[in-house]
Structure 1
Amino acid sequence: MEKILVSACLAGKRCRYDGKDNGVPQIQQLHAEGRCVLVCPEELGGLPTPRTPAEIVGSQVLTKDGEDVTEAFNAGAAAGLKIAQSENIKEAILKAKSPSCGCGQIYDGSFSRKLIVGNGQFAAQLLSARIKVKTELDL
């Protein structure tokens, strides 16, 4: 059975920026069946939970307070990609709109919930490694 890489927050892990989760029953069931590999790239990058919300602004990831957390996001994306490769992952289900996991659309960096075309740091790395990425909105 091939495993699917999943944003940990979608499986119910409280790793969202605000310390909550984005649990999706369908994904929680996959996790209960042992069919998922859970990853939170932001925590893998060394960021705490809870943490100040961040969005991609140009080539940087900035918190709402203006702190540059690009390095942590990149480190977490790289660590998550290593996990995916070590588990021979072919498909991922990631959190929509996230600066790490968003695929196809992300917030525009104004912290106004406006969406733009783009991918989060982790989603972009997975796609570059030819791993299929979708979000919970695609289920």
Structure 2
Amino acid sequence: MKYGVSACLLGINCKYNGKNNESKELIRALENHEIVPICPECTGGLPIPRVPCERKGNQVISKEGEDKTFYFEKGAQLTLETIQKEKVDALILQSRSPSCGVLEIYDGSFSNKLIKGQGVFVQKCMEANIPCFDVKEWIKHAD
């Protein structure tokens, strides 16, 4: 299988704070698979590091109150086109992200409150019938 994987999970420093969410367990589990690293936020033109953002309805707002929806939408569309061109079978994505959250995201209040929902990129992928897995759930079932 060929997987699109959140680049931060592969140890690439592309998170909002300039760090990563490297998952050695995931990397080991994907050893015999083809991987396409993705970061819709970077693809959309957001810098590293960047002000944290959260999804609030159909908008993505920075902690400073700026509307960053354009960058998230642009990154989601361009990344979707990439994974379609690459013929990716499924996506393994970082939890809680305003782009890549599969099961839940932060509620937009910047108070660490999680709600059920998807990031902008995941929503586009689901509309295109591309299977999306939260990293924690995928690892649990990969054994």
Shorter-chain TM-score: which interval? over 0.9
Aligned residue for 2:55? 56
Aligned residue for 1:13? 12
Q: Answer yes or no: is the 8 Å Cα contact 1:19–1:50 preserved in 2.
A: yes
Q: Answer yes or no: is the 8 Å Cα contact 1:104–1:117 preserved in 2.
A: yes
Percent identity at matched positions? Answer: 43
Q: Answer yes or no: is the 8 Å Cα contact 1:126–1:133 preserved in 2.
A: yes
TM-fit CA distance, 1:26: 2.5
TM-fit CA distance, 1:33: 5.3
Distance 1:52 1:116 in 2: 21
Aligned residue for 1:130? 129
Aligned residue for 1:71? 70
Q: Answer yes or no: is the 8 Å Cα contact 2:3–2:33 preserved in 1.
A: no
TM-fit CA distance, 1:90: 1.9
Distance 1:63 1:17 in 2: 11
Aligned residue for 2:22? 23
| Runs of 4 or more consecutive aligned structure 1 residues displaced over 6 Å after TM superposition | none
Aligned residue for 1:42? 41
Please report the TM-score for the alignment, with normalisation by the length of structure 1: 0.94
Distance 1:107 1:113 in 2: 6
| Greater CA drift, 83-92 or 4-13 | 83-92
Supply the AA of the counterpart residue of 1:83: T
Please report the TM-score for the alignment, with normalisation by the length of structure 2: 0.92
Go from structure 1 to structure 2 and tell me whether the alpha carbon gap of 1:16 and 1:110 turns closer, same or farther (over 3 Å shift): same
Q: Answer yes or no: is the 8 Å Cα contact 2:103–2:134 preserved in 1.
A: no
Structure 1 residue ranges without an equivalent (≥5)? none
Q: Answer yes or no: is the 8 Å Cα contact 1:52–1:64 preserved in 2.
A: yes
Distance 1:29 1:38 in 2: 15
Distance 2:82 2:39 in 1: 11
RMSD of aligned alpha carbons: 1.3
Structure 2 residue ranges without an equivalent (≥5)? none
Aligned residues: 138
